Amino acid sequence: MADLMIVVGARPQFIKAAPVMKEISSRNIDLTVVHSGQHYDPEMSAVFFRELQIPKPSVNLRTGSGSHAKQTATIMQRLEGSILAHSPKIVVVAGDTNTTLAAAIAAAKLNVPVAHIEAGLRSHDLSMPEEINRRLTDHCSVLLFAPTKTAIYNLRNEGLQLRTYLTGDTMVDSLRMVMPALRSREAGLLKHFELQAREYVLVTLHRPSNVDDLDRLREIHNALKHVAKRLRVLFLVHPRTRGRLRRIKGLAHNREFTLAPPQGYIENLALMKNASCILTDSGGMQKESFILHVPCITLRANTEWPETLQGGANRLINRPGRISREILRVAVNEDLRTRITSLKHPFGDGRASSRIVRLLESSLQHLK
């Protein structure tokens, strides 16, 4: 019988769960790690296990891609057997992916308590799969580890105030954990891409709302080509986006507008830290850019991290036609950079993992 089972399966979950697993390994707690296989590309999976020193999974469900319904159902079906075989006292999930929701439902159906790392986030946009996943996961969970005061407010507003804890954000723990390696690699990384610090824009996009509509993706591409006349553009192309971009006629790829594969966690942070600004639709990168004091433009109508909007550190736009104007305005604004640097981030002190594991230990004692 295992004390804890942690279920991960996608890039954001590896980052959020890694420091928790590291903290667990320093204590006398039996841990089973399950990889759902939601992200199976080496660029999106194996590199994170290596860089974040995540224990090798005891189980890999090898789920692969598919529709949201198919992927979630497959994980639930395959995970059920692992839960029954390992008999964990608590199943721990992180974030808001299909893996998160599937594991929470599978465990709850088997009457195994669920603990949710990064509970309480809300974009209030039910067209986002992540919003559905995080809401349902919170309501399946008996231990809710909230990263911010806003998240606590959201949970209490939904009647989930019992067993809700303000722990801080484990992504701060991860960032601090890799900072020495980041500093040692950044110069070589900039040299590799022939970049100068603060003289390029870093781009990552993966949400269906931005990359599945070819007309919208073409607009984004054209806006970035315009930016590249003034500033270098480095576009880290998510596997989801790669095939769609190939369908665009006149696709730019040159020194000014560079397309590159996704980078490892440390490399990605180093490129973020040295960028003049970031264009993304990722929740995690909004938060990381805020902590790193780099201006961010988010190509979405909403955010689950409203804390990042303070002081203009993160700006929401949802029209591709505004991209080039916003980037060129933000990237050269030294006053904005100075103001962002003075902002105190609300995501905790880098000890969230320790708090979470202490709470899990206490819960395990009560379950004996």
Question: Over 80: is that where the pLDDT of 368 sits?
Answer: no
Question: Over 60: is that where the pLDDT of 37 sits?
Answer: yes
Q: 349: pLDDT confidence band, cut at 50, 70 and 90?
A: very high
Q: What is the mean pLDDT of the chain?
A: 93
Most confident residue range from 52-66, 231-245, 259-273: 259-273
pLDDT of residue 66: 85
Whole-number Å distance between alpha carbons of 219 and 361: 51
Spatial contact of 287 and 187, defined as CB atoms under 8 Å apart: no
Whole-number Å distance between alpha carbons of 85 and 61: 14
% of the chain with per-residue pLDDT over 90: 80
Whole-number Å distance between alpha carbons of 94 and 81: 20
The stretch 21-45 carries a mean pLDDT of 82
Sequence length of the chain is 368
3-state secondary structure of 237: coil
pLDDT of residue 242: 86
Question: Over 60: is that where the pLDDT of 46 sits?
Answer: yes
Class of domain 178-342: alpha beta
Q: Is the dihedral of CA 350, 364, 59, 76 positive or negative?
A: negative
pLDDT of residue 1: 73
Closest CA to 307 of 58, 62, 122, 138: 122
Q: 306: pLDDT confidence band, cut at 50, 70 and 90?
A: very high
DSSP letter (8 states) at residue 56: P
Whole-number Å distance between alpha carbons of 34 and 8: 6
3-state secondary structure of 5: strand
Question: Over 80: is that where the pLDDT of 48 sits?
Answer: no
Beta bridge partners of 92: 6, 115
Closest CA to 14 of 41, 46, 62: 46
Spatial contact of 174 and 19, defined as CB atoms under 8 Å apart: yes
**Of the ranges 38-42, 165-169, 193-197, 292-296, which one carries the lowest mean pLDDT score?**
38-42
Please indicate whether residue 55 or residue 362 has the higher confidence score (pLDDT): 362
Q: 2: pLDDT confidence band, cut at 50, 70 and 90?
A: confident
Those residues with Cβ within 8 angstroms of residue 305's Cβ, 6 or more apart along the chain or in another chain: 121, 283, 286, 287, 290, 314
End-to-end CA distance of the chain: 12
% of the chain with per-residue pLDDT over 70: 98
3-state secondary structure of 46: helix
The stretch 213-222 carries a mean pLDDT of 94
Give, in order, the Cα–Cα distances in Å from 294 to each of 104, 125, 237: 34, 26, 20
Q: How would DSSP label each residue in 187-204?
A: HHHHHHTT--TTSEEEEE
178-342 matches 4-169+348-367 in CATH topology: yes
Give, in order, the Cα–Cα distances in Å from 214 to each of 217, 241, 252, 280: 5, 10, 15, 17
Spatial contact of 167 and 355, defined as CB atoms under 8 Å apart: yes
The stretch 150-167 carries a mean pLDDT of 96
Please indicate whether residue 54 or residue 346 has the higher confidence score (pLDDT): 346
- Tokens 């296989």 -> residue: 37
Question: Over 80: is that where the pLDDT of 41 sits?
Answer: no
pLDDT of residue 43: 53
pLDDT of residue 359: 97
- Tokens 């192309």 -> residue: 237
Q: Which CATH number does 4-169+348-367 carry? A: 3.40.50.2000
Q: What amino acid is encoded at 7 in this protein? A: V
Q: 243: pLDDT confidence band, cut at 50, 70 and 90?
A: confident
| Segment 108-131, tens digit of pLDDT | 999 999 999 999 999 999 999 999
Those residues with Cβ within 8 angstroms of residue 22's Cβ, 6 or more apart along the chain or in another chain: 53, 177, 353
Give the catalytic positions in this structure.
206
Helix (H) or strand (E) holding 114: strand 114-117
Domain ranges of the chain: 4-169+348-367, 178-342
Spatial contact of 172 and 348, defined as CB atoms under 8 Å apart: yes
pLDDT of residue 250: 82
Question: Over 90: is that where the pLDDT of 55 sits?
Answer: no
Those residues with Cβ within 8 angstroms of residue 276's Cβ, 6 or more apart along the chain or in another chain: 198, 199, 200, 201, 231, 295, 331, 332
Question: Over 70: is that where the pLDDT of 44 sits?
Answer: no
